[in-house]
Structure 1
Amino acid sequence: MSAKYFQVAQGVWGLKQYFVNVYMIANRRSAGKGWVLVDTGIKGSEKDIIAAAEKLFGPGTRPAAIVLTHGHADHSGSIKELLKHWNVPVYAHKLEIPYLTGLSSYPPADPGVGGGLMTMLSWIWPVKPINISRNLREIDMYEGIPELPEWKVIHTPGHTPGHISLFLPLNTTLIAGDAFTTTVTESATYLLGNIKHISGPPKYITTDWKAAEHSVRELAELQPRIAATGHGPVMRGRELTTALNQLSEDFKTLALPENGRYVKRAAIADERGVRYVPPVKVGAKQTIGFAAAASVAAFLLVRSLW
């Protein structure tokens, strides 16, 4: 895939890899701090990320740090390979650390939420932890990230326990990860086509919907003028303000699944990882079985991405 990047805001660029975005932020204020990579895409993305970085910042460049909005495989997939090339610190929230140190797997995906092919495929979603302990640094939520002194770190749980978003007050630019998205992640047509439509976090792998709703409301209160998310195109201006406010106000109607494993009872996690996962209901088991059977062919096509 071509390493073609796009402009998000002044000093911020994005790179779309298949169906997920990574971002590169130039540090304007602190001399010698360079730039920071936010998320690392799916497995195999490292060559394109390095190529895009070198186009932007020059041959042989490397980031001052990597920040993970969360540790799901589509956001941390290439980090081990990148760390072989760039031996730099990796920042994550303390509640995300168990999934990045080999301590705990994430709760399983929920194909019972419905919504499209990507939901049906979610039974293959990798939830096992990775181990990048050597490079991992816990984000100080009071001090922020030293390599991004102008950016505010916001804890936005729900999609995962330690999910974070980044906000630049100077021009109200928001990097939201998967706290909300700007496409319909459950639909292969929307997701792979990068079709714009503001949505809640991906339904099939969000495990605490009460927290997710609170996070969307907190981000909407910031009134960002630019939003870059983990999935979907950049949204700006009045279009963003109107859509994000509506999502915040009508979250239960627009984002919450009608059915699903985590809708009524959230998974519970702490600094040691997952402590409780709600059981699958009988009807949901039948849905999962159908989804698995219906998506075998698609699985064979996309398994190499993981």
Structure 2
Amino acid sequence: MKWEQIPLGRVQTNCYCLSIDSKCIIIDPGAEGEKLAQILQEKGLRPIAILLTHGHFDHIGAVDFLREKYSIPVYIHKKERDWLSNSSLNASTFFFPDEPMQIKPADFEISGAGKLTIDEFSFTIFETPGHSPGSVSYYVEAVQFIVSGDALFYGGIGRTDLPGGNQQQLLSTIKETLFALPEETIVLPGHGPKTTIAREKQSNPFLRA
């Protein structure tokens, strides 16, 4: 499985395209659906699903465009089933009050940690709450990377001052769940550059013992 990081939108949220041959899965298409579709076309990729790490506006903005264009399903954790259509919960009203965001309901709800297989793609799902109550991370053990959403960043952690945020829960999530992964695991965050579990254990200022 190959991966590509594609920053999109006004806050440059990282969308990830995970591909096997000509098929791909899109994680967190935050904005600029037409631009993303053009990139996929140029690469000869056909999306088969959209996975969401959580329901904040900057991670969901292109969901409806892409699912309608490609007739593909959308997955989100059940705790955030209402966030797609609720502009207060997805925080679009907070950041852009003149542009409240309302997305159609997801096709599938993630009910907890476990395995997820879509066609040839196989993931381990970890519940990683704290930034938001239904945040999840998608781990691919075979190639040792994890898409962490807004839980863990290069040298940082997700903000916890939005609805449902809890800093202590986030710190516990990272230390108990993400830091249990092999240190060479590549972390693909929702914003900024990639990192590794080893680097964040050693130098993340928010997570030093």
**TM-score past 0.5 threshold:** yes
Q: Which residue of 2 aligns with 1:83?
A: 67
Query: Identity rate of aligned residues, in percent?
Result: 23
**CA distance in 2 between partners of 1:147 and 1:208 (Å):** 35
More contact order relative to length (CA 8 Å, sep ≥ 6): 1
User: Unpaired runs of 5+ in structure 1?
Assistant: 1-9, 110-121, 183-197, 254-306
**CA RMSD of superposed structures (Å):** 3.0
Aligned to 2:14: 21
Q: Give the secondary-structure state (helix, strand or coil) at the position aligned to 1:150.
A: strand
Amino acid at match of 2:146: L
Asked if the contact 1:36–1:148 (Cα under 8 Å) also holds between the matched residues in 2, the reply is no
- With the length of structure 2 as denominator, give the TM-score of the two structures: 0.82
Query: Are the structure 2 counterparts of residues 171 and 209 from structure 1 closer, same or farther at C-alpha, using a change threshold of 3 Å?
Result: same
Matches of 1:178 and 1:137, distance apart in 2: 21
Q: CA deviation at 1:124?
A: 2.4
In the alignment, what sits opposite 1:174? 146
Task: Output aligned runs, 1:176-255, within 5 Å.
Answer: 176-182=148-154, 198-205=155-162, 207-217=165-175, 218-222=177-181, 223-236=183-196, 241-247=198-204, 250-251=206-207
Cα distance change on mapping 1:94 and 1:128 into 2, 3 Å: farther
Q: Tell me which residue corresponds to 1:144.
A: 116
Instruction: Give 2:27's aligned amino acid.
Output: V
Structure 2 distance, partners of 1:83, 1:69, is 16
Question: Which residue identity lines up with residue 210 of structure 1 in the other structure?
Answer: Q
Counterpart of 1:26 in structure 2: which amino acid?
Answer: S
| Shift in CA distance, 216/224, structure 1 to aligned 2, threshold 3 Å | farther
Q: Between Structure 1 and Structure 2, which shows a larger proportion of helix residues? A: 1
Q: 1:69 aligns with which of 39, 45, 53?
A: 53
Q: Which residue in the other structure is 2:38 paired with?
A: 51
Q: 1:208 to 1:89 in 2, by over 3 A?
A: same
Q: What secondary structure is seen at the aligned counterpart in 1 of 2:143?
A: coil
8 Å contact 1:39–1:67 — kept in the other structure? Answer: yes
The one-letter amino acid of 2:198's match is: T
Aligned-residue offset at 1:123: 4.8
Measure the CA separation in 2 of the matches of 1:148 and 1:212: 31
- Does the 8 Å contact 1:174/1:224 carry over to 2? no
Counterpart amino acid of residue 207 in structure 2: F
In structure 2, list runs of 5 or more residues that go unmatched.
none
Higher Cα radius of gyration: 1
- CA shift for structure 1 position 251: 3.1
Mapped to 1, the partners of 2:87 and 2:8 lie a distance apart of 27
